Structures are given as C-alpha cells and as structure tokens.
Copies of this chain bind each other. A is one copy, B any other.
Amino acid sequence: MSEKERWQAAERLALVLTEGGLQRMSARALAVFLFTDAETVTMGDIADRLGVSAGSVSGAVKALLSVGLIERLPAPGSRREHYRLRDDAWSTLFSTQNTVVRVMLQAAETGIATTASGDPAHERLTRMRDFYEFLLGELPGLLRRWQEQHSPR
C-alpha cells in the first residue's frame, strides 16, 4: 500500500512538472528516475513502469538528457543503456528560469526602444525591465548560496 502511495506521489509530481513547462512524458519519466528504488534505470524499466511504448520513452529520455536532468552511465558491455538522475538536477531545472528571465528582459528592452520617454508604455516597460534586471542579478548569488550550503568546501 505504501508502494502504491509512492507512485501516486510520483504521478502527482509529474503533473506539477508538466505545468512547469516539461512535456508530459518527460515529466513522468523524470518522476520514475526520482522515485525508483534502483540506482539506475533503463528505457525498458521506464516503459514497464509507466506502461507506455518504447518510442515514447525514447523521446522523453532524449529531452531529459538535453536539458541535463539525467545522465547516461558508462555501460560496460551491456546491451542496454543505463541512466540516472543527476545530482544537480534540481538546481539545473531551476537554472532554466535564467534563460526565461533573459528573454523577458530582452522583450522589455525591445519595447522600450520603440517608445518615447514619457509614454505610458515606456513607463511600464521600464518597470518591467528593472524587475527582470534585478532578478537576473539575484539568481547567481542564490545558486551560489545553495552550493555553499549543500557541499561545504
């Protein structure tokens, strides 16, 4: 029963990740990486656990690899590839916000460039730019504090 609850929690997490921008299947696969008992998992493991096709898993794993949330392990002469969640997965996931902030910043600056000082739009866009500039400046320090606290020395 506890086992059942565990995978319910996994699926709930997947839903949140989906709303956070991840593809549905990628999110579910990530939940497996997180909640599995094994040290590493294969694509077959994921397909079995989720009850989905190998094709779907292939795409999901590829996506997770590309954003650096999981890693492929050196497979010593095995027929299947093994993968696992990276230790820094969560800070990596958070760091994607960094690029979002940059795009917002640039959109604001483009808008500012097309408006005259004094226009209401100019005011609003400037406020927006200031905020995201502030945010962009804060993020590095935030991640640094995390790393210091988490791996002292």
Binding site for B on A (CB under 8 A): 2-3, 5-6, 9-10, 12-13, 16, 19-21, 34-39, 85, 87, 90-91, 94, 97, 100, 103-104, 107-108, 110-111, 114-115, 119-121, 124-125, 127-128, 130-132, 134-135, 138, 142, 145-146, 149-150
In the complex, what's the smallest C-beta–C-beta distance from A148 to chain B, in angstroms?
11
User: Cα distance A142–B101 when bound, in Å?
Assistant: 15
Docked complex Cα distance between A50 and B20 (Å): 26
Extra inter-chain contacts (7) besides given A6-B114, A10-B111, A130-B150, CB under 8 Å: A9-B110, A12-B107, A16-B103, A16-B104, A36-B121, A38-B120, A90-B127
* Chain B residues within an 8 Å CB radius of A39: 120
B120 and A16 contacting across the interface, CB-CB below 8 Å:
no
- Kindly list the 5 A-B residue pairs having the minimum CB-CB distance in the complex, ordered from nearest: A6-B114, A13-B107, A9-B110, A90-B131, A2-B114
**Chain B's nearest CB lies how many Å from the CB of A145?**
7
Q: Decide if A111 touches B37 in the complex (CB within 8 Å).
A: no
CB distance from A103 to the nearest CB of B (A): 5
Contact of A111 among B20, B34, B114, B119 (CB under 8 A): B34
A124 touching B85 by the CB < 8 A rule? yes
Q: CB distance A111 to B6 under 8 Å?
A: yes
